[in-house]
Amino acid sequence: MRKLFVAIILASTVLIAGCSGEVEKIAENVDVDGLKDKAVEIVGDRLEETEQVQILKEYYSYIEQRMDEDKIINFLKENVDSLDEFRVDEMLFQLENHLYAQGYDTKGVLQKLAPHVQHASDEFKSYFRIWNKEVENETTDGERINIPAEEILERALQIESHMESYPEGKTRTRLEDLYDTYMSLAIQGLGNQYVYAQEGKSEIRDDILQLYEETIRENPNTRTARILQEYLDEIEKDEMKLDGENALYFYDNLERIIENMK
């Protein structure tokens, strides 16, 4: 039986890369120099460097102690205007981790983050938009795919563009699993590639083949295009049948193929 690569956890919108059940104990390990390098300009009524770091330490202590979420969020609300955007990012990331650890799903987490995203960096805003699009219109409910393959690929390309814009950003690892899931859904559905086959046949549908070819042509040099091209190369060996030896090998190794295309 082929390994189902799709992260079904997406169906309940609780998927997120990099989150663990334990909240990191980082109160004593604030990267002051790293944050200082990023925070190029402190403007308006923002606090001095040392004061901002002290606020972060206090905030992290609340997270570490797993205090009531209302207290954590109120502390964030009271101080967010006084911090530079990169420190706001730090606070939002930690709140995000904390809420997942408390059992919130992605929709609930985004609702808690939303009022403060305006104070965050462009990277975090982009990251938030990507997840918010998924929450507003879920790709799958775990039993069927709810959006067309074209939109799935558009979402994958949006993530790829984000990661190219912020290659060293903290959101990259948090989006890798979502990208992998989108690519898997766009190629083999929920582990049943025949969702993209001609009715009553095993050959790929003409509209899906055209979609893949257009995506490759219109997005050259992208990871998404390379994955799709390799897929088409393999099924072509099987006369475009989705149950041929080469196609089945591709599905079985899709996770590795996506990883190798980075």
Q: What is the pLDDT of residues 190-248, one digit of tens each?
A: 999 999 999 999 999 999 999 999 999 999 999 999 999 999 999 999 999 999 999 99
Of 207, 227, 226, 225, which is closest to residue 216 (Cα–Cα)?
A: 225
Please say whether the dihedral angle defined by the alpha carbons of residues 85, 87, 91 and 97, taken in this order, is positive or negative.
Answer: positive
Please name which of 131, 233, 249 lies closest in space to residue 182, comparing C-alpha atoms.
Answer: 131
46 vs 146 pLDDT, higher one: 146
How far is CA 147 from its chain centroid? Answer: 17
Report pLDDT for 42: 39
As given in the structure block, the two tokens for residue 142 are 């775990």
The confidence score (pLDDT) of residue 48 equals: 83
Between 67 and 26, the higher pLDDT residue: 67
Domain ranges of the chain: 32-133, 143-260
pTM over the 0.85 mark: no
**Cα–Cα distance for residue pair 46/43, rounded to 1 Å:** 6
Determine how many CB atoms are found less than 10 A away from the CB of residue 92: 22
Summarize pLDDT for 29-74 with one digit per residue, the tens. Answer: 445 455 445 444 434 456 788 898 899 999 999 999 988 889 999 9
Which two tokens mark 37? 């390098």
204 bridge partner residues? 197
What are the start-end ranges of the H helices in the chain? Answer: 32-38, 49-64, 69-79, 85-101, 106-113, 122-136, 149-165, 172-188, 206-218, 223-236, 245-252, 254-260
Tally the C-alpha atoms within 13 A of residue 221's C-alpha that lie toward its C-beta: 2
The secondary structure of residue 205, as a DSSP letter, is P
| The pLDDT value given to residue 34 | 55
